[in-house]
Chain A
Amino acid sequence: MLSRFHISKRSSLSPQKAWLIRGGAILLALVICGIITTITTGLNPLDVYATIFQGAFGTARKSWVTWQNVSVLLGISLAVTPAFKMRFWNIGAEGQVLIGCLASAACMILFGDKLPNGLLILVMLLASLFAGGLWGFLPAFFNARWNTNETLFTLMMNYIATQLVAYYIIVWEVPKGSGKIGIINQNSQMGWLPQLAGQQYLLSILIVAILTGAMYIYLQYSKHGYEIAVVGESRRTASYAGIKVDRVIIRTMTLSGAVCGLMGLLLVSGINHTMTTTIVGGRGFTAVMVSWLAKFNPIAMIFTSLLLVFLDRGAGEISSVFSLNRSFADILTGIILFFIIGSEFFINYEIHLTNSAETEGERHV
């Protein structure tokens, strides 16, 4: 008798069990990665894993960089979350952050010797919020008014931002002909975010930590958060409940863009003190994955962004320590993500093994 799989949706699953499945998936992924490592490179997988950990947290310096990377990725992920929770396919975070970078850098360069430092930082903050917000507002406005496709629109806005930054880098290049801006206000340190407790990244990390809590409360307990959840579920239900759908879309995307703009400020004035066209480094897109992996829960995003940064940092380390191709590290990252995302299937569905004779009658064509 032939047996076959019968897949059905789970009626409910306790959170503990769900986490057990996720943990099992990661464990399984590590085992598979280990086997593949041994087969392809002949290395001891435990050594490789230890090196990955070393790469992320091996020294205090490395730990700070890891946490700084987490804060940037987490911050951008928080920014895109309201839009995605609203099912607004915003893939323009890259451009929104970049335009925020440009706004901060512009203020630092143009007003660096004209304003007192505190006022300058305030102006930079407003400028980056506004620039990012504008980059979020435009696609939302066009979508609400003329039903344009938000995915294409936000994607195109990325290119505009990149080209604007490329243009101004040439305008402001130091020294002339280098094609780079170099460190902005290196001597005066005007417009640099202050260091806390002697740690350069601590302020950025704290800002993102506050942002995480704020975003959690905003989405979970505020009226806006409720509106976003309803609009994301069904625009018809939202209209029925008296929610002005267009207004919510525009407001949420503007907010999303503004938070991205803030992250741009942190990147330029808190972390890098310079600006390049690749300063965001694709994190505007990775953030989408962080947000979805965490199911739009800001607290869970701490862990998903940490996981991605950890794997990325570790990947860099193993490629240098074992002189492996960096692509090898990407393979491991890919396997682990595949298992994590795949485990969601087993959380939502259960599989029965049945024999075909029994199910014949209930087969749907």
Chain B
Amino acid sequence: MGSPCAIKMENITKRFGTVTANDHINLELHEGEILSLLGENGSGKTTLMNMLSGIYFPDEGQIYVHGKPVTIASPKDAFDNGIGMIHQHFKLVDVFTAAQNIVLGLEEQGKFDLKAASARITEICQKYGFDIKPDQKVYDMSVSQKQTVEIVKVLYRGADILILDEPTAVLTPQETDKLFDIMRAMKKDGKSLIIITHKLHEVLDVSDRVAVLRKGEYIGGVLTKDANQQSLTDMMVGRSVTLNIDRPMPVDPQPRLAVKNLTVYDQLGVKRLDNVSFTANSGEILGIAGVAGSGQKELLESIAGLYPIARGEIMFYDPESGQEKNLVGMDPLDIKRAGVGMAFVPEDRLGMGLVGSMGMTGNMMLRSWRNGKGLFVDRKHPEQLANDVWKELEVVTPSTSFPVRRMSGGNVQKVLVGREIAQDPAVLMTAYAVRGLDINTSYTIYNLLTAEKMKGIAVLYVGEDLDVLLELCDRLVVLCGGQVSGVVDARTITKEEVGLLMTQHRKEDA
């Protein structure tokens, strides 16, 4: 089998229901190398790595560690094989110190000796240049320090194969550079590392080799020195697929919603949108492209009045009165009272867009419950609307009072989209409207959105599938790291060009 492999995955397949997340994947990690695992959102990177760390169990295939076939059925098995994963979301106890978190869950023989553990932690820190103190509480730490604790935790358990799941997503550029230095130091020490990322410049910066996944399949691997941004983008997005979505030309597009210099920060103070500006016109579908977490969610929630806005303007041009309204500082109720017809299909359907325990009628009321007379809600009209949506969109449900939580994903989405369109909005925003839906339901949604567009509504479509974005939308706003990296004509631009815009990080000067 040639050179020794730290990890070899052979014909690994993992299915979730009818979705194949990983399809016969073969992947090798050489001893003492840094391998980048590259792919779009939903391409199966994390699923694949979760099978190495014992969170999922493969349906088919075999894993070899240092040449030996192994069965990894639990995180403990993974540790026994020297594999440690640093997850994107930290799994730390806030009120514990670094040392307490690191030894947590370890089953060591003999007396529990935190002092000895602290000494070993200090030793590890000095070896690789980590800047954490064993007795520091986690709630006192910065994001990058917390990540360091996670890394030390894995090293403390004797891992020589480390998997980092999008470690840079939460870091500033300076912290990222520091992390990369640490990764190089670990590599020098003989450790083998896999880094999951979709930032191309980081791939080129830190790794020795790149493996690319696309839609659950292994596309290929190249040595980093033989690759550049263009070649990696091509591998990542693949060739265009024709979908034949009907796309009529916009009729008399007029500015409807103008976002100007919008900047927002999340709860941790991380900048999520940076000086974003664009205009959405009536009668067109404006696509918003970008790798996951580039600020799409924050953008839509800011417009809907659900996200605190630090700076900038969101101007709405009322088609009836012709007046301009600035939506900044309004909550959803204010927006509604200001007469702005805004429909929003959020990404989190059951956690934000719908009430899972209620039936279709109860969920229709979410937009109209205020309309009832006096103290009481009006159930008649929502019931009527629920019946209409049930019939027109062919929702599969036993009744309009059947809890939507128990419906399948596609039907849940039909209920949500049906309700939002029924509001007769001036602006319709959708986030990942077809995620998890079968092909027929997806086309139903595309047709609904196009019909809305032809009614003169400004449609914002946040999507992840570039093929769909390029065939459904009229124009595209490409987001990258919270910034607009381009506003382009979806009819003329190529998939490769969009792919480049999505991944081209302009390095910030501070």
**A interface residues (Cβ-Cβ under 8 A, vs B):** 11-12, 221-227, 229-230, 233-234, 236-237, 239-244, 361, 363-365
Closest Cβ–Cβ distance, residue B402 to chain A (whole Å): 8
- Beyond the given pairs A223-B369, A241-B332, 20 more chain A to chain B contacts, judged by CB atoms under 8 angstroms and listed by A's residue number, are A12-B398, A221-B376, A223-B376, A223-B377, A225-B377, A227-B369, A229-B357, A230-B355, A233-B357, A234-B350, A234-B355, A236-B351, A237-B351, A239-B306, A240-B304, A240-B366, A242-B370, A361-B59, A365-B57, A365-B74
In the complex, the answer to whether B372 meets A223 with C-beta atoms within 8 Å is yes
A230's partner among B55, B304, B336, B366 (CB-CB below 8 A) is B366
Task: Note all chain A residues with C-beta closer than 8 A to B55.
Answer: 365
Residue B375 lies at the interface, judged by CB distance under 8 Å to chain A:
yes
The 8 A CB mask of B334-358 against A (1 = contact, 0 = none) is 0110000000101010111111111
The 4 lowest CB-CB distance pairs between A and B, nearest first, are: A242-B333, A242-B332, A365-B57, A241-B366
**B interface residues (Cβ-Cβ under 8 A, vs A):** 54-57, 59, 73-74, 304, 306, 331-333, 335-336, 344, 346, 348, 350-358, 362, 365-367, 369-370, 372, 375-377, 379, 398, 402, 406
Bound together, the chains give a CA A240 to CA B331 distance in angstroms of: 9
Task: Note all chain A residues with C-beta closer than 8 A to B377.
Answer: 221-223, 225-226
In the complex, the answer to whether A239 meets B73 with C-beta atoms within 8 Å is no
Bound together, the chains give a CA A237 to CA B348 distance in angstroms of: 9
Closest Cβ–Cβ distance, residue A287 to chain B (whole Å): 23
Bound together, the chains give a CA A181 to CA B408 distance in angstroms of: 63
A240's partner among B346, B362, B370, B402 (CB-CB below 8 A) is B346
A226's partner among B352, B365, B402 (CB-CB below 8 A) is B365
**Looking at A230, A241, A361, which has the most chain B CB atoms within 10 Å of its CB?**
A241
Task: Note all chain B residues with C-beta closer than 8 A to A227.
Answer: 369
In the complex, the answer to whether A222 meets B376 with C-beta atoms within 8 Å is yes
Closest Cβ–Cβ distance, residue A235 to chain B (whole Å): 10
Task: Note all chain B residues with C-beta closer than 8 A to A365.
Answer: 54-57, 73-74
In the complex, the answer to whether B306 meets A237 with C-beta atoms within 8 Å is no
In the complex, the answer to whether B375 meets A223 with C-beta atoms within 8 Å is yes
In the complex, the answer to whether A222 meets B306 with C-beta atoms within 8 Å is no
Bound together, the chains give a CA A236 to CA B73 distance in angstroms of: 36
Task: Note all chain B residues with C-beta closer than 8 A to A240.
Answer: 304, 306, 332, 344, 346, 352-353, 366
**Residue of A with least CB distance to B334:** A242
Q: Contacts A11-B406, A242-B331 given: A237-B375 contact, CB under 8 Å?
A: no
B356's partner among A225, A233, A239, A241 (CB-CB below 8 A) is A233
In the complex, the answer to whether B332 meets A237 with C-beta atoms within 8 Å is no
Closest Cβ–Cβ distance, residue A125 to chain B (whole Å): 22
**Looking at B350, B362, B369, which has the most chain A CB atoms within 10 Å of its CB?**
B369
Q: Contacts A240-B306, A241-B332 given: A233-B355 contact, CB under 8 Å?
A: yes
In the complex, the answer to whether B332 meets A226 with C-beta atoms within 8 Å is no
8 contacts between A and B (CB under 8 A): A221-B376, A223-B376, A234-B355, A236-B352, A237-B351, A237-B352, A237-B353, A241-B332
**Residue of B with least CB distance to A233:** B355
Bound together, the chains give a CA A224 to CA B376 distance in angstroms of: 8
Bound together, the chains give a CA A244 to CA B336 distance in angstroms of: 13
Task: Note all chain B residues with C-beta closer than 8 A to A12.
Answer: 398, 402
**Residue of B with least CB distance to A361:** B59
In the complex, the answer to whether B333 meets A244 with C-beta atoms within 8 Å is yes
**Residue of B with least CB distance to A236:** B352
Task: Note all chain B residues with C-beta closer than 8 A to A230.
Answer: 355, 366
A239's partner among B332, B370, B372 (CB-CB below 8 A) is B332
Task: Note all chain A residues with C-beta closer than 8 A to B354.
Answer: 237
Closest Cβ–Cβ distance, residue B427 to chain A (whole Å): 15
Bound together, the chains give a CA A233 to CA B352 distance in angstroms of: 10
Task: Note all chain A residues with C-beta closer than 8 A to B336.
Answer: 242
**Residue of B with least CB distance to A234:** B351
**Looking at B74, B333, B344, B402, which has the most chain A CB atoms within 10 Å of its CB?**
B333
Task: Note all chain B residues with C-beta closer than 8 A to A363.
Answer: 57
Task: Note all chain A residues with C-beta closer than 8 A to B365.
Answer: 226
Bound together, the chains give a CA A244 to CA B377 distance in angstroms of: 17
Task: Note all chain A residues with C-beta closer than 8 A to B353.
Answer: 237, 240
A229's partner among B59, B304, B358 (CB-CB below 8 A) is B358
Task: Note all chain B residues with C-beta closer than 8 A to A243.
Answer: 333
**Residue of B with least CB distance to A239:** B306
In the complex, the answer to whether A224 meets B352 with C-beta atoms within 8 Å is no
In the complex, the answer to whether A224 meets B375 with C-beta atoms within 8 Å is yes
Bound together, the chains give a CA A363 to CA B58 distance in angstroms of: 11
Task: Note all chain B residues with C-beta closer than 8 A to A237.
Answer: 351-355, 366
Task: Note all chain A residues with C-beta closer than 8 A to B335.
Answer: 242
Bound together, the chains give a CA A229 to CA B358 distance in angstroms of: 9
In the complex, the answer to whether B348 meets A226 with C-beta atoms within 8 Å is no
**Residue of B with least CB distance to A10:** B406
Task: Note all chain A residues with C-beta closer than 8 A to B362.
Answer: 226, 229
B331's partner among A233, A239, A361 (CB-CB below 8 A) is A239
**Residue of A with least CB distance to B336:** A242
Bound together, the chains give a CA A222 to CA B373 distance in angstroms of: 10
Task: Note all chain B residues with C-beta closer than 8 A to A224.
Answer: 375
**Residue of A with least CB distance to B357:** A233
Task: Note all chain A residues with C-beta closer than 8 A to B332.
Answer: 239-242
Closest Cβ–Cβ distance, residue B18 to chain A (whole Å): 13
Task: Note all chain B residues with C-beta closer than 8 A to A233.
Answer: 355-358
**Residue of A with least CB distance to B372:** A223
Bound together, the chains give a CA A240 to CA B379 distance in angstroms of: 20
**Residue of B with least CB distance to A217:** B376
Bound together, the chains give a CA A75 to CA B57 distance in angstroms of: 52
Bound together, the chains give a CA A234 to CA B354 distance in angstroms of: 9
Task: Note all chain B residues with C-beta closer than 8 A to A242.
Answer: 331-333, 335-336, 370
Bound together, the chains give a CA A12 to CA B406 distance in angstroms of: 10
Closest Cβ–Cβ distance, residue B397 to chain A (whole Å): 11
**Looking at A12, A226, A236, which has the most chain B CB atoms within 10 Å of its CB?**
A226
Closest Cβ–Cβ distance, residue B103 to chain A (whole Å): 25
Q: Contacts A222-B376, A223-B376, A242-B331 given: A236-B348 contact, CB under 8 Å?
A: yes
**Residue of B with least CB distance to A231:** B355
Bound together, the chains give a CA A229 to CA B55 distance in angstroms of: 35
In the complex, the answer to whether B370 meets A223 with C-beta atoms within 8 Å is yes
Closest Cβ–Cβ distance, residue B218 to chain A (whole Å): 23
Task: Note all chain B residues with C-beta closer than 8 A to A364.
Answer: 57
**Residue of A with least CB distance to B348:** A236
**Residue of A with least CB distance to B366:** A241
